[in-house]
């Protein structure tokens, strides 16, 4: 049975070669820089954020994803209040999907232009390298397949671009990922990384002095693949506790929460209730996040910690 499940997982991964290849996270709106490099250093403080996703719990060979990001502003002498600001970041990713393992390390640079104290446009670039490994130790095929006869490892460059516009109560971002389109060496003649396009947006509505409501939208698309749409809304209590609901088209319903503790730390948890046909063998996906922010808990001005 284990070999059968691994075989199914392998076929699932091979199918995904021509589909969405980006790592999928339900708590993306609490770690924008994980998919849009324009966010790096947008706030005047250092941030460390991590996310771990256990997808399709109970399904052998299901994806396990982890990402850690670090961002900080670049301190430079500014001649005017609205002079351009700069930021940098580092991102490490790891994905385990059946017989495939991918490790990526990349570096980010971003520049931010303020038009007013509350509106700004940002641009960013992320470059690095990724290691892809295929292991055939637990692969069983019904017929002899050259693609599964040996293990292999290869390295490839990775790059992404992003743009971001935000104001006091809204943001809109676009990004392009996997710009290099590298071939998967030793893993099939038609397997390669494909360029992905992301569009994100969010708005903040004030309910009263203690509560705000924040709906968010993320649209992801690539060639020869269905478009993925994430829509969620969470209620924020004084930036100390957040709780929300979300939906991913044709795939899952999502419940999420985040709690802040010791002022600078935040822990998040979300659960996806699978609605696609795979729910016959896996009903839930669990995701955890841990954030650290050096921002002041109660900033005294808009520019010190501007992004909601």
In tens digits, the chain (308 residues) has pLDDT values of: 344 344 434 444 444 444 456 788 999 999 999 999 999 999 989 999 999 999 988 887 889 999 999 999 998 877 677 789 999 999 999 999 888 899 999 999 999 999 988 899 999 999 999 998 888 776 666 666 666 667 788 899 999 999 999 999 999 999 999 888 766 665 555 667 788 999 999 999 999 999 999 999 999 998 778 899 999 999 999 889 999 999 999 889 999 999 999 889 999 999 999 988 887 777 899 999 999 999 876 544 333 344 65
The domain tally of the chain equals 1
Instruction: Please give the residue range of the domain that contains residue 217.
Output: 2-293
| DSSP character at residue 56 | S
User: Considering the domain boundaries, does residue 68 fall inside one?
Assistant: yes
CB atoms under 10 Å from CB of 304, counted, come to 13
User: Considering the domain boundaries, does residue 300 fall inside one?
Assistant: no
User: Considering the domain boundaries, does residue 280 fall inside one?
Assistant: yes
User: Considering the domain boundaries, does residue 303 fall inside one?
Assistant: no
User: Considering the domain boundaries, does residue 299 fall inside one?
Assistant: no
Residues 6 or more apart from 83 whose CB is under 8 A from it? none
User: Considering the domain boundaries, does residue 305 fall inside one?
Assistant: no
User: Considering the domain boundaries, does residue 308 fall inside one?
Assistant: no
Instruction: Determine the length of the chain.
Output: 308
**In this structure, what CATH number is given to the domain that contains residue 189?**
2.40.160.40
Q: Say if CB 204 and CB 220 are below 8 A apart.
A: no
| DSSP character at residue 142 | S
pTM of the model: 0.84
**Token pair of 246 as six digits:** 């979300």
User: Considering the domain boundaries, does residue 302 fall inside one?
Assistant: no
Residue among 230, 173, 233, 231 nearest 207 (CA): 233
Residues 6 or more apart from 305 whose CB is under 8 A from it? 43, 44, 45, 295, 296, 299
Q: Say if CB 13 and CB 99 are below 8 A apart.
A: yes
């Amino acid at each position: 049975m284990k070999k059968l499940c691994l075989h199914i997982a392998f076929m699932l991964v091979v199918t995904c070669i021509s589909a969405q290849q980006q790592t999928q996270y339900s708590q993306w709106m609490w770690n924008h820089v994980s998919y849009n490099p324009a966010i790096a250093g947008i706030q005047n403080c250092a941030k460390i954020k991590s996310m771990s996703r256990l997808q399709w719990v109970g399904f052998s060979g299901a994806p396990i994803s982890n990402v850690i990001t670090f961002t900080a502003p670049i301190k430079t002498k500014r001649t005017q209040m609205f002079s351009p600001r700069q930021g940098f970041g580092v991102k490490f990713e790891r994905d385990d999907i059946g017989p495939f393992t991918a490790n990526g390390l990349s570096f980010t640079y971003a520049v931010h232009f303020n038009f007013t104290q509350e509106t700004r446009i940002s641009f960013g670039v992320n470059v690095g390298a990724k290691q892809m490994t295929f292991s055939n130790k637990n692969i069983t095929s019904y017929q002899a397949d050259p693609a599964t006869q040996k293990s292999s490892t290869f390295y490839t460059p990775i790059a992404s671009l992003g743009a971001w516009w935000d104001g006091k109560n809204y943001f809109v971002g676009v990004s392009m990922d996997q710009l290099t389109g590298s071939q998967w060496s030793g893993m099939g003649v038609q397997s390669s990384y494909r360029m992905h396009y992301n569009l994100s947006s969010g708005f903040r509505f004030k309910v009263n002095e203690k509560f705000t409501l924040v709906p968010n939208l993320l649209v992801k698309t690539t060639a020869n693949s269905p478009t993925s749409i994430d829509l969620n809304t969470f209620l924020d209590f004084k930036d100390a506790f957040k709780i929300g609901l979300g939906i991913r088209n044709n795939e899952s319903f999502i419940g999420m929460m985040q709690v802040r503790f010791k002022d600078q730390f935040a822990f998040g948890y979300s659960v996806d209730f699978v609605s696609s046909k795979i729910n016959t063998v896996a009903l839930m996906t669990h995701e955890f996040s841990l954030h650290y922010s050096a921002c002041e808990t109660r900033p005294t001005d808009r520019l010190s910690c501007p992004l909601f």
